[in-house]
Amino acid sequence: MTLLVALTWDPAPWVERFRRMLPEHDTVVLGDEFDRNKVRYVATWGPKPGSLSGLTNLAALFSLGAGVDHLMRYPDLPDVPIVRVAQDDLTHRMSEYVVLHCLMHLRDQRRYDGQQRQRIWRDDRHPPAAREVRVGMLGFGVLGQDAAHKLRALGFDVAGWSRSGRPVEGFRVYGGGELDAFLARTDILVSLLPLTPDTHGILNRDLFAKLSRDGRLGGPVLINAGRGGLQVETDILSCLDDGTLKAAVLDVFETEPLPEDSPLWGHPAVTLTPHNAAVSEPEATARYIAEQIRRFERGEPLENVVDPSRGY
């Protein structure tokens, strides 16, 4: 049986691992000579139109990341189960990112970075305690919940918002219809939503204006590590300029790579990273996919299967 690796970036590190971890399968890449009828599995990120056609015996598609918006956009998506990445290595990386930036804002670290550059010794503030800062996880799935547990261990006051409002032990979870109440109690908004037709552009001026105005940080902070399509960048910039937002930490952008002329690069209240909050590390991700294939071949259900009707 054949596993096709269909990537927009260099497939070599993935092919080496799949061949090592699944020696009983043929691993091929686009451009190789191979029989499309024998392809049983595809591991992919951002497949080009046409690259998945004619796979008559396909059993499952594996996204090489947690998000699947890259697949939902694909015309003629094969009608097979789509498995996304939900494994500890990626999850822990995202939690590191979220915790890092919540702490950076709790402790006002950017201000001290600025003071250091100017050789200023000034200590005229009493930072709030973590328990006095309310973090709101916009999207309370695998990533949002793991980060929430770690933030809570540090003392932050954490709540979640999800479509279903499904209870999560130990946290107040707001359901889809309770967005305003959730925003009103949020000082640091952490966006870990998938990009779907329902969430596109959700991070806009209307939403930012509903965030808490009485928090201990002196204004709401946005952290978006979900997808760039969730945010309206002109709104983020104008809200930073008029004080609706105090600061923004952005890992994802409407256009990636972020264009050189974007005003986000030089804005003093913006921290940005190049969409690497939680990379899919090849060894851990290939191991996860190989395990899923083995489960499937033992007749066990695949895990973390996407619901195409919801888009995530």
The footprint of ligand OXD on residues 56-95 (CB under 6 A) is 65-67, 85
Query: How many CB atoms sit inside 10 A of residue 218's CB?
Result: 15
Q: Which amino acid is at 140?
A: F
Angle, vertex CA 80, rays to CA 38 and CA 306, nearest 5? 140
Residue 162 found at the interface with ligand NDP (CB under 6 A) = yes
Residue 44 found at the interface with ligand OXD (CB under 6 A) = no
The footprint of ligand NDP on residues 251-290 (CB under 6 A) is 251-252, 275, 277-278
State how far Cα 209 lies from the chain centre.
Answer: 23
**162 contact choice in ligand OXD, ligand NDP, none (CB below 5 to 8 Å, kind-dependent):** ligand NDP
Q: Give the residue nearest to ligand NDP (CB).
A: 141
Burial of 148 (0-12, 13-18, 19+ CB in 10 A): buried
The footprint of ligand NDP on residues 3-62 (CB under 6 A) is none
E strands present in the chain:
2-7, 26-29, 39-45, 60-63, 82-83, 134-138, 157-161, 172-174, 188-191, 221-224, 247-250, 270-272
Task: Work out which of 2, 186, 199, 244 binds ligand NDP, going by CB under 6 A.
Answer: 199
Please tell me which residue in 185, 275, 287, 295 is annotated as part of the active site. Answer: 275
d(CA 10, CA 293): 22
CB of 295 to ligand NDP, least distance (A): 19
**42 contact choice in ligand OXD, ligand NDP, none (CB below 5 to 8 Å, kind-dependent):** none
Interface mask toward ligand NDP for 93-112; x: CB under 6 A: -x------------------
d(CA 102, CA 243): 19
Residue 140 found at the interface with ligand NDP (CB under 6 A) = yes
Q: Give the residue nearest to ligand OXD (CB).
A: 65
- Residue 194: both structure tokens together: 């998938």
Residue 15 found at the interface with ligand OXD (CB under 6 A) = no
Concerning whether 275 is annotated as a catalytic residue, the answer is yes
d(CA 299, CA 38): 19
Residue linked to tokens 């092919």: 15
**203 contact choice in ligand OXD, ligand NDP, none (CB below 5 to 8 Å, kind-dependent):** none
> How many positions of this chain bind ligand OXD (CB under 6 A)?
6
The footprint of ligand OXD on residues 276-305 (CB under 6 A) is 278, 280
State how far Cα 101 lies from the chain centre.
Answer: 15
Concerning whether 227 is annotated as a catalytic residue, the answer is yes
With beta carbons less than 8 A apart as the criterion, state whether 47 and 62 touch.
no
CB of 161 to ligand OXD, least distance (A): 19
Would you name the residues annotated as active-site residues?
Answer: 227, 275
Which chain residues interact with ligand NDP by CB under 6 A?
A: 65-67, 86, 94, 139-144, 162-164, 166, 176, 192-196, 198-199, 225-227, 251-252, 275, 277-278, 312
Which chain residues interact with ligand OXD by CB under 6 A?
A: 65-67, 85, 278, 280
